[in-house]
Amino acid sequence: MIELYGQKFSSRLLLGTALYPSPAVMAEAVKASGAEIVTVSLRRETSGGKAGGQFWSLVQSLGVRVLPNTAGCHSVREAVTTAQMAREVFGTNWIKLEVIGNHDTLQPDVFGLVEAARILASEGFEVFPYTTDDLVVAERLLEAGCRLLMPWCAPIGSARGAQNPDALRSLRGHFPNVPLIVDAGIGRPSHAAAVMELGYDAVLLNTAVAKAGDPVAMAAAFGKAIEAGWGAHCAGLLEPRDMAVPSTPVIGMAALS
């Protein structure tokens, strides 16, 4: 079980709802993945008209927890306003907070992120901040009122997997009691398993499933990979060694002269 802002969930996969070939495929992918939390963009809901309302009804029918996001926001004011609107539309204090600082890499503006997080936390929001793997930024976000962190492992949609596993490992070691959810850059189930083996609590992804040849099958594969990675972490992984170590005992073996 994973606990996020006092709510417990069995699945450690959070799934996005954008980019799928159709809403029906999205719904089947969510079911196949076992995800209990999905992210939804306020921009899609408010700009879709009648279609947006139908999409929201479909999401509600899945029986999952909705995590609205501030995707596409490039300033503190824009992110805070979007979060406030999302609370009205979706009826939740949860918000995935994104304040984008670079158009090419979609890297978070960490200065604006901390400022927006502080404002929203003071207004009663339960903030899921999309951040970098920087320890100092992580500390500032926790001081601002966040109770979990969502570091990237590569640029959004890049499918590269963990680009700096040492930084992710350091972040995990520095905050042993803070829920950490890897967000952005995962392209394969093996990438997800690898970060879960580091001791991360969950993974949030979208593009790797939505743009797969078979999104439903890929969603199921990611669900299994995340479960396997977490299970391996809990079981205790064998650390790499410089020398070979025989798996079969040599003591008591016959000595031939």
Residue 211 appears among annotated catalytic residues? no
Instruction: Take residue 119 and report the two structure tokens written for it.
Output: 């404002």
Cβ neighbours, 10 Å, residue 213: 6
Long-range contacts of 126-132 (CB under 8 A, 24+ apart): 126/5, 126/93, 126/94, 126/95, 127/95, 127/97, 128/4, 128/67, 128/94, 128/95, 128/96, 128/97, 128/181, 129/97, 130/96, 130/97, 130/98, 130/183, 130/184, 132/107, 132/108
Phi-psi domain of 195 (left: phi exceeds 0; alpha: psi -120 through 50; beta: other): alpha
Identify how many contiguous H helices and E strands the chain contains and give both numbers.
Answer: 10, 10
Q: Given the residues 50, 96, 211, 224, select the one marked as catalytic.
A: 96
Give how far Cα 178 sits from Cα of 3, 172, 174, 204, Å.
10, 8, 9, 16
Annotated active-site positions, please?
Answer: 96
